[in-house]
Structure 1
Amino acid sequence: MQSDGCVPCRRIHGSGDPSVHIRKRITYTDRACRPRRCHLLTRTYHYTAPDGRPSTYRDRKRVLWLLSVVFPLMPAFAVWMHYATASEWGLLFPLVFSYGAGPLLDWMLGEDRSNPPELTVPELENDHYYRVLTWLTVPLHVLALLVTAWWVATQDLSLPGWLALALVAGLFSGVAVNTAHEMGHKRERLDQWLSRIALAVPAYGHFTVEHNFGHHKHVATPEDCASARMGESIYRFALREMPGGVLRAWRIERQRLERRGHGPWSLRNTIVQSWLITLFLQGGLLLVFGLSLLPFLLVHNLVAWFQLTSANYVEHYGLLRLKDENGRYERCQPHHSWNSNHVFSNLLLFHLQRHSDHHANPLRRYQSLRHFDDVPRLPTGYFGMFLLAYIPSLWFRVMDRRLLSLPNIAGDLDRVNRQPAVTQAGHREG
């Protein structure tokens, strides 16, 4: 008989319950286990509860995380839909699924506020199954771009059909940034390199440097170009965030290399490394299919960038870290990020929407991220929030009220990261 982790067990002699087992290994004598199979898709984690009782935990979403792996194949599925139906309407399926069915399923399935027991987190995070899922996702992002570029270059699409496929390809290459985000926070070399490859798909190679060493340092402060201010529309935010992120990332990486005696254009520059992969990937597509593909790649890249901007916009809108008596910002806490427990969209995005725990504990892997009761909560998942953000008047009506009603703010605009045009009365000047 084998237990999860394939640690041999034997029955306790004299026990009246034939299902009771103990570990043979001395290091596990404080744990009890029941007969079970060591299976890739069904694993039970065993731990001793604080009251001394042997307990178990099973990740009910273990198999469902495969949705995050196959989600990037949506653009390729759109190409198949066009081929199978001979109608360009099929190219719109991923957009309808993400922005139509996605919010609807979030509403129907609701939230998942369950957390893994803290005593199981070390074993849960050492389970390679979860890491392998992120690794497998990277080549699928590359494949999606290759398939859509090939289809655009070889088919006589109308302008609306061309634009639809460019939007779909860009949307899901924006999801590649999320995959890179999960791996870019990890110390393992393989995760770091796969993160750069994923970022190369939408030519967003500066992201890991900017996000890890810029955004995480300055998050929820007026100094952070990736934290949206109350009263700031997503379109004004994009004009500040997109160039600001590139410039800040380059400055951070240049300073790092200078401290080590290297120039900014050294191959040790991780931004340059990802840009070179982009040059190989997208430059190779241009060599194969010609310069007529260039507009498609440019629109694809811009849409992917704006997808990340959309996520940044909703994640910290109006939230502010206060300064202490020494003028230093307080440490980032879970209440400095907007959180969403909507189960369907979280399963598509490697738990990105449990953003409160991520910023408070950035090294935690996606399967271990926790729900907190006392953090700002979004009314729906990210795809629904993006739609809301794209209509600023509706966004302000919904989110400003929600922001000001938070217990740690209670209507006090001095506790809000806001545009100067937002007055103490809560009205926008002009």
Structure 2
Amino acid sequence: MWARERGYDPKRHLWMLGLIAPASALLPSQLVYRTGLPIFWWIGPVIVLAAIPLLDLLIGVDGSNPRDEDYELLSEDRYYRWCTYLFLPVQLVGLLLACAMWGGTELGIWDKVGLATTLGLVSGIGINAAHELGHRAEHLERWLAKIALAQSGYGHFFVEHNRGHHVRVATPADPASARLGESLYAFLPRTVAGGFRSALRLERERLARTGSGWWSPRNHILQAWAMTLVLFGGLIAGFGWEITPWLLLQAAIGAGLLETVNYVEHYGLLRERRPDGRWARCSPRDSWNSDHLVTNIFLFHLQRHSDHHANPGRRYQTLRSTEIAPQLPVGYAGMIVLAALPPLWRRVMDHRVLAHYGGDAWRANIQPGKREHYLAAVPSGR
């Protein structure tokens, strides 16, 4: 009866654990005051960069996929929507508490840096909640996506991700698709600047098609940026100018986390070309996949990224892990740590990219300036 009414999902009651991420912004003050240990101002990176990768290794992969007969029931079950909706108020309460502490005199400089880092990681994971909501057709959920982006000040992501990245993914033209041989530190400025320019162009073109100018109230980018201005302005008015650098720092960390995940998701992958020279439709082979259970719960199945790009209309609870998708060796949390260490990253990932293409580097998305290095290993006569 339960399966017929709701759709069978063995992870159903685990999805609320995704709220641990924004709740980590509520923990530092209580943990520090109860233990006297200032390390807990840094609870965010401890959870995201240490505890979750370890749990991924201990618990392993999920291995379950939604059944075809349950797809519609799972899609319409509003329980899963509330798991993402509730992320927002928890996230904002954590930000309010942090601002009160940044504006006070009790914390030292490194305590404030730790708290800003924790809030920044929450902000970055909040962009993932915005990512899920922004793909939906429902008017409410699209507005909630913009609200979730307000803390990071990254409102243009709403436009660029849906109308830019999903169109150009796994091609050299996509600023959010990392290239084989490109380090994270080369990728970050390219994707931040490229995504920003692309979002402005896409929104300007959309408004022009509707006969509206840039300063139209229908401008999605201006709507999202206005939310950031209202949020930050209200917080500064309430807690003082002293919180400004910490607001900006946590926003930068949040955006950096998002773009680091982008780096992981498509590194070196290139879509095939059709006979007419145009790019083939995106398939599960064009995104890195991971089915490690713990990170998938925290990120609302973001790691089933191959299915997401092949079927962007699917809600997170219905995404599947497919055998044809290239697989990451660990979950996203662990891959973020590897990405910060380029020599280790290349040692772990480069041979996986080449193996995905049967050793044929010509089929990969290679960083300009590195082509000769990677193509030298291709047998002559290619």
Match of residue 79 from structure 2: 129
> How far off is 1:424 after superposition?
4.6
Relative contact order (alpha carbons < 8 A, sep ≥ 6): 1 or 2 greater?
2
Deviations 1:5-61 (A, max 9, x none): xxxxxxxxxxxxxxxxxxxxxxxxxxxx5xxxxxxxxx4236xxxxxxxxx963111
> How far off is 1:323 after superposition?
1.5
> How far off is 1:156 after superposition?
2.7
Whichever structure has more helix as a proportion of its residues is 2
Does residue 222 (structure 1) correspond to residue 172 (structure 2)? The answer is yes
1:399 equivalent among 346, 349, 372: 349
Does residue 355 (structure 1) correspond to residue 311 (structure 2)? The answer is no
> How far off is 1:289 after superposition?
1.8
Counterpart contact for 2:361–2:375, Cα < 8 Å: no
Deviations 1:366-385 (A, max 9, x none): 11000101210011111100
Does residue 418 (structure 1) correspond to residue 366 (structure 2)? The answer is yes
Deviations 1:210-230 (A, max 9, x none): 000000000000000000000
TM, length-normalised to structure 1: 0.85
What is the Cα-based RMSD across aligned positions, in Å? 1.5
Query: Where in structure 2 are there 5+ consecutive unaligned residues?
Result: 377-382
Counterpart contact for 2:102–2:242, Cα < 8 Å: no
Counterpart contact for 2:56–2:294, Cα < 8 Å: yes
- State how 1:5-16 maps to structure 2 within 5 Å: none
Match of residue 150 from structure 2: 200
Q: Tell me how far apart the structure 2 counterparts of residues 155 and 367 of structure 1 sit (CA, whole Å).
A: 44
> How far off is 1:193 after superposition?
0.8
Deviations 1:281-319 (A, max 9, x none): 111111122222111011111101100001100000000
Does residue 297 (structure 1) correspond to residue 247 (structure 2)? The answer is yes
Letter in 2 for 1:422: K
Does residue 77 (structure 1) correspond to residue 20 (structure 2)? The answer is no
Does residue 249 (structure 1) correspond to residue 208 (structure 2)? The answer is no
Q: Tell me how far apart the structure 2 counterparts of residues 309 and 142 of structure 1 sit (CA, whole Å).
A: 22
Identity, in percent, stands at 46
Does residue 45 (structure 1) correspond to residue 13 (structure 2)? The answer is no
> Which is worse superposed, 187-196 or 152-161?
152-161
Does residue 68 (structure 1) correspond to residue 18 (structure 2)? The answer is yes
- State how 1:85-234 maps to structure 2 within 5 Å: 85-234=35-184
- State how 1:297-316 maps to structure 2 within 5 Å: 297-316=247-266
Letter in 1 for 2:14: L
Q: Tell me how far apart the structure 2 counterparts of residues 419 and 65 of structure 1 sit (CA, whole Å).
A: 38
Whichever structure has more strand as a proportion of its residues is 1
- State how 1:346-385 maps to structure 2 within 5 Å: 346-385=296-335
Deviations 1:179-227 (A, max 9, x none): 0000100000110111110011111111111000000000000000000
Q: Tell me how far apart the structure 2 counterparts of residues 427 and 285 of structure 1 sit (CA, whole Å).
A: 53
Q: Tell me how far apart the structure 1 counterparts of residues 64 and 372 of structure 2 sit (CA, whole Å).
A: 38
Deviations 1:218-269 (A, max 9, x none): 0000000000000101111001001111111111111111111111121111
Is the radius of gyration larger for structure 1 or structure 2? 1
Match of residue 240 from structure 1: 190
> Which is worse superposed, 240-249 or 78-87?
78-87
Counterpart contact for 1:70–1:137, Cα < 8 Å: no
Q: Tell me how far apart the structure 1 counterparts of residues 58 and 264 of structure 2 sit (CA, whole Å).
A: 22
Deviations 1:357-412 (A, max 9, x none): 00000010011000101210011111100000000010001000111111xx1111
Letter in 2 for 1:45: R
Q: Tell me how far apart the structure 1 counterparts of residues 148 and 273 of structure 2 sit (CA, whole Å).
A: 36
Report the secondary structure of 2:4's partner residue: strand
How many pairs does the alignment contain? 376
Letter in 1 for 2:311: N
> How far off is 1:425 after superposition?
4.8
Q: Tell me how far apart the structure 1 counterparts of residues 118 and 267 of structure 2 sit (CA, whole Å).
A: 26
Report the secondary structure of 2:24's partner residue: helix
Q: Tell me how far apart the structure 2 counterparts of residues 402 and 256 of structure 1 sit (CA, whole Å).
A: 39
Letter in 2 for 1:416: A
